[in-house]
Amino acid sequence: MRPPDLLAPTARTDYRALEPGRTTLGQWDLQYATGPRAGAYFEPAVTIVAVERYVPPAHLAKTSKGNELLLTLEGRKGVLPKKWIVRPTVKRQIAKAVGSFVVQDWPGKMIVIYVDPKVRFGREVTGGLRAKAAPGHEPATSESLDNPVDEEVAARIDAAVAACFSEEEAT
């Protein structure tokens, strides 16, 4: 007996059903299946376990630009561990979230994955996954408030400010 043709014009098959053993992360993995929030998206905090260069299967090689990475993630049960194919926009978001553009620094770092409904693929708005810093795991910045205070410099600044205000009061 011949198996049913899933791609026949009369078939109505969700494209994700064609790959039942799919191991890569997609926005449908971040959706509540049941309960009062069914259909809503959740934002799991995950740990990056490994980073490697993504080599697409032969049938997708023509559409790949060769700049994708494959992240192995660990986190929420039932969703992960899965691999996530990340492209340039998400790579920049992850680099910003973990505080390093060096991919060898990423394993062990936590990020939050979320669904952005405004992501475009060509001219079509399809939605997609994005990354941001996990709460409590934001990288240190070069902002002055993150640096230790030099007591000598602080004393000179305080003296200069005090001198300015004392001159204004005298006039």
pLDDT above 90 as % of the chain? 16
The yes-or-no verdict on residue 8 having pLDDT over 60 is no
Counting beta carbons within 10 angstroms of the beta carbon of residue 86, is it exposed (0 to 12), middle (13 to 18) or buried (19 or more)?
Answer: buried
Q: pLDDT: is 32 or 12 the higher one?
A: 32
| 3-state secondary structure at position 132 | strand
The yes-or-no verdict on residue 37 having pLDDT over 80 is no
d(CA 148, CA 138): 18
d(CA 55, CA 68): 8
> What is the token pair recorded at 62?
């023509």
Mean pLDDT score across all residues of the chain: 76
- Span of 46-50, 111-115, 151-155 with lowest mean pLDDT: 151-155
Give CA separation, 4 vs 1, 9, 13, 22, in Å. 9, 12, 11, 21
d(CA 69, CA 102): 13
| 3-state secondary structure at position 95 | helix
The pLDDT of 28-32, averaged and rounded, is 74
Look at the pTM and tell me if it is higher than 0.85: no
Q: What is the pLDDT of residue 11?
A: 38
Report the length, in residues, of the chain.
171
Question: Which residue is associated with the tokens 């996954």?
Answer: 129
> Which span out of 83-87, 136-140, 143-147 was modeled with the highest average pLDDT?
83-87
Q: Is the dihedral of CA 29, 34, 40, 44 positive or negative?
A: negative
Residue 132: pLDDT band by 50, 70, 90 thresholds? very high
Name the nearest CA neighbour of 86 among 24, 43, 31: 24
Residue 93: pLDDT band by 50, 70, 90 thresholds? very high
What DSSP designation does 148 have? P
d(CA 126, CA 20): 21
